[in-house]
Each structure stands twice: as C-alpha cells, then as structure tokens.
C-alpha cells in the first residue's frame, strides 16, 4: 500500500515568513510523528499525535513551531517567522497502535527540505 | 535521559568487505526498543530492524546481522560482503517502552562502499 507522503518535497522561503509542511500518514496508522534532521545530523523528535489524545509537544524547539492533526488523518507542521536555523529536512512518520497503548515501528516519509534564506 | 552514540561518523570499504557499524546506547529503562534505519541518498529512512530489550538473541537477515549485548549497552550492525548499494547513512535509534515510543537517534554513520 501507499507509504507516508509529505509535501512539498522542497521549500525555499525568506527569513521571517511562515511555512506549512504537510504529512499524509499510512492509512490506518493512528500515531503520527514529526522529526527534524539538520544537515549531517541525526533526527530530533518534535511532536507526536495519537488518535484524538492531546499531542506530545515536548520536542518543539520554540513557540514558533506548531502542528495540527485532525483525527487520524493529515497533519500540518507550521513554522512562523522562520529563521535560518530552521533550515533542515522535516520528516514525518506514522505507526499503528499496539495493545497497552504502545506504538509499533515508525515508518517515515521522504521529508520536506526547508531552506530559509 | 536517553542517548544513542554512533562513534563512527564515516566508514569507507571496498565492495565484498565485511563492515560493522557500532551503536552504544544509554537508558535507565529496563524495557526499551532498539532500531536500525537506513537512509540512502534519496533521503527516505528505511526501517531495517526492531529489537525488544528482553530479546538478546542475535538476528541475521541475508547479508545483515545484528549483535545485541545488554552488558555493554551495544547494538551493532554487520553487513557481510558489502555491495555498492549498501552505501547510505545508517542510524541507530532507541525508544522507551511507553505510549508514543518517540525515537532517540544516534548521529548516524555514513557508509561508502567502493567498487
């Protein structure tokens, strides 16, 4: 079946502008994650959604970052007043929910490469 | 706090050589999960393996094998008879045994396999 999809694949913006990044999870996956990958580095967790529960926002680096998800569908990550330090690849992952509330293996999308000039 | 260390930032081998990628982790949890992902030049992370902390049995999948040792907090990955298509960045990751299981990633090891 279809994997996780993200759009746009590339985004170039000017410092101070707002950007929206979109993620379509695998159908039936209740959990959705956003990660950030700076050039040459590993991934950093940003935010986690599980069904209709309140999201875990513990990884968001500042209040300029926010994300929404309606039910178990599409999610949007918004970065307001972008800064050059926000330049990175933003990756989305989704997974199914296991018994006991745990989540299964995360499967990743291709990412959105954000460049802030 | 959790931490994953991949001390090898870059490895270069010649095709058909065996290569081992090291992964050392830190956690206070008794139950946790370990993962390896491959990130080819296309950028998409490809899931390779997931391991529960209670299962220390080594695993082999084709040319890939994994050695999990709780005593040394290591989860090393070996590619036997490497091929050019194995060239990628490989990430080791750790997840807690809780709802969400957010992944803590190592910095990655870039493997270059030369023909």
Closest CA–CA distance from residue B98 to any residue of chain A (Å)? 6
Mutate to test the interface with A, among B101, B104, B109, B110 (most CBs of A within 10 A): B101
Min Cα separation B10/chain A (Å): 11
Using DSSP's 3-state secondary structure scheme, residue A70 falls into: coil
Coarse DSSP helix, strand, coil percentages of chain A, rounded to the nearest 5 percent? 5, 50, 45
User: Looking at the complex, does the CB of residue A111 fall below 8 Å from at least one CB of chain B?
Assistant: yes
- First vs last C-alpha separation in chain B: 41
The C-alpha torsion from A42 through A43 and A45 to A46, rounded to 10°, is 120
Q: Distance (Å, rounded) from C-alpha A27 to C-alpha A107? A: 12
* Bigger pLDDT: B43 vs B78: B78
Token digits for A111? 């990412």
**Per mean pLDDT, which of A26-30, A110-114, B1-5 is the most reliable?**
A110-114
DSSP bridge partners of A115:
A12
Average pLDDT of chain B, as a whole number: 93
| Of A43, A50, A107, Cβ closest to residue B47 | A107
pLDDT tens digits, one per residue of B22-57: 999 999 988 899 999 999 988 889 999 998 888 888
- Nearest-Cα distance to chain B for A110, in Å, is 4
Q: Residue A8: is the preceding peptide bond cis (ω within 30°)?
A: yes
Contact A56/B at CB under 8 A: yes
Q: What tens digit of pLDDT does each residue of A66-117 get?
A: 999 987 889 999 999 999 999 999 999 999 877 766 778 899 999 999 999 9
Give me the phi and psi of B104, to 5 degrees please.
-105, 120
Q: Which of B44, B47, B108 comes nearest A42 by C-beta? A: B108
């Amino acid at each position: 079946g279809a994997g996780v999809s993200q759009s746009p694949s590339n985004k170039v913006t000017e410092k101070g502008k707002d950007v929206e990044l979109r993620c379509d999870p695998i159908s039936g996956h209740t959990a959705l994650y956003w990660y950030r990958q700076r050039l040459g580095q590993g991934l950093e967790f940003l935010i986690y959604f599980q069904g209709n529960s309140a999201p875990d926002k513990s990884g968001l680096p500042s209040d300029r970052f926010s994300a929404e998800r309606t039910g178990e569908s599409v999610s949007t990550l918004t970065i307001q007043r972008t800064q050059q330090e926000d330049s990175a690849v933003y990756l989305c992952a989704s997974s199914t929910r296991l018994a006991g509330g745990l989540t299964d293996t995360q499967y990743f999308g291709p990412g959105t490469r954000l460049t802030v000039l | 706090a959790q931490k994953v260390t991949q001390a090898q930032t870059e490895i270069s081998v010649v095709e058909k050589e065996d290569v081992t990628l090291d992964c050392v982790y830190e956690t206070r949890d008794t139950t946790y999960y370990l993962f390896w992902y491959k990130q080819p030049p296309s950028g998409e992370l490809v899931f390779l393996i997931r391991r529960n902390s209670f299962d220390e049995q080594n695993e082999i999948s084709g040319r890939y094998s994994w050695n999990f040792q709780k005593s040394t907090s290591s989860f090393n990955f070996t590619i036997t008879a490497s091929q050019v298509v194995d060239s990628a960045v490989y990430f080791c990751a750790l997840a807690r045994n809780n709802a969400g299981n957010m992944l803590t990633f190592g910095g990655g090891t870039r493997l270059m396999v030369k023909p």
